Structure 1
Amino acid sequence: MTVEPRTEAGDVLTDVIMRTFRLYGAFLDAAEVMTKPVGLTAAWWQVLGAVLKDPLPVSGIAREMSLTRQSVQRTADLLVEKGLAEYLPNPAHRRAKLFRPTEAGHKAIESLRAAQHNFTNRVSAQVDLNDLKTTLKVMTQLIKAVDDNPPHA
């Protein structure tokens, strides 16, 4: 494999990646604190959150969340076992059932709203709104760029 020369943009992106890892860890820690009182975990919240509007097959959730299908499957099965979600027939695919929250699952997510809003309001109050909007726009662009340019093995 040929080693391309370093660029300033590449170095900045490397720093963005490292900060993203740190931020992801902090968000997961916060999610664990918020979910514990309602009997959820951060992973359960993440999987249920992916299907609050529309049911998806496990593979669709995995793609949307950039998780492995196997880890989403384990979490989905646990959520079904706990009565927080259910599988439905999928008219588009006989074997890949659709996954969605039950009423209990929706209630569990709803019970997180106050803690979530309190947390996000406190954190976002320390960052300029326009900077947050720019961050969201750039993150969306980076997701597309990474999807369009997977790393070489």
Structure 2
Amino acid sequence: MHEVEAYRLLIADVYELAGLSRRTSEELARSLGQTAARWHVLSVLSDGPRTVPSAARRLGLAPQSVQRVVGDLVDAGLLEAVDNPDHARSPLMRLTVRGRAVVDELFARSQDDRAGAVARAGITADELLAAREVVRKLAAALRG
């Protein structure tokens, strides 16, 4: 098999995995009055403030769609805008105390589900980290 064919198969599998994960995320998020889209944005911001375009790139989505979700999260008191020293017209979005509590609860509620999936797959943390490294290298190469 050639590298390009293997690449295409990997991408198809990543899309399938993302879709399956999104469905289970939707069910878990609903239990806390959230959506998978809101959870994904909260998750991306859980490691620190980002601009909407940066969050959109991380999620592989259009900035406009992420902006709508960010607006909902700001209105719900889960995110707040703070000054961006690097770009005055593109504020950094960060979790509020309430937003941190919601994302932490979502992570806690998903722990057993995700651990069960990993166990059923029979894979180790090292294997997951190796797969992540492959995906990150491909993403970096595609970014140029």
Q: What residue in structure 2 maps to residue 97 of structure 1? A: 91
Q: Deviations over 1:96-134 (max 9, x none)?
A: 111111111111111112222111211111232143232
Q: What residue in structure 2 maps to residue 141 of structure 1? A: 137
Q: Secondary structure at the match of 2:87?
A: coil
Aligned-partner Cα distance in 1 for 2:50–2:143: 20
Aligned-partner Cα distance in 1 for 2:84–2:135: 32
Q: What residue in structure 1 maps to residue 50 of structure 2? A: 56
Aligned-partner Cα distance in 1 for 2:38–2:5: 35
Mapped contact 2:44–2:58 kept (Cα < 8 A) = yes
Deviation at 1:64, TM superposition (A): 2.1
Q: State, as a whole percentage, how many aligned pairs show the same letter.
A: 29
Deviation at 1:145, TM superposition (A): 2.0
TM normalised by structure 1 equals 0.85
Aligned length: 142
The residue identity in structure 2 corresponding to 1:128 is I
C-alpha RMSD over aligned residues: 1.5
The residue identity in structure 1 corresponding to 2:134 is V
The residue identity in structure 2 corresponding to 1:86 is E
Q: Give 1:74's match in structure 2, choosing from 55, 68, 73.
A: 68
Structure-to-structure mapping, 1:3-82, within 5 angstroms: 8-82=2-76
Q: Deviations over 1:62-106 (max 9, x none)?
A: 122221111111110110111111111222222111111111111
Q: What residue in structure 2 maps to residue 127 of structure 1? A: 122
Q: Deviations over 1:20-76 (max 9, x none)?
A: 111110010011011111111111111111112321111111122221111111110
Task: Report which of the two structures shows the higher radius of gyration computed on alpha carbons.
Answer: 1
Aligned-partner Cα distance in 2 for 1:57–1:18: 29
Q: Secondary structure at the match of 1:56?
A: coil
Gapped runs of 5+ residues in structure 1?
1-6, 149-153
Aligned-partner Cα distance in 2 for 1:138–1:127: 19
Deviation at 1:137, TM superposition (A): 1.8
Aligned-partner Cα distance in 1 for 2:51–2:108: 29
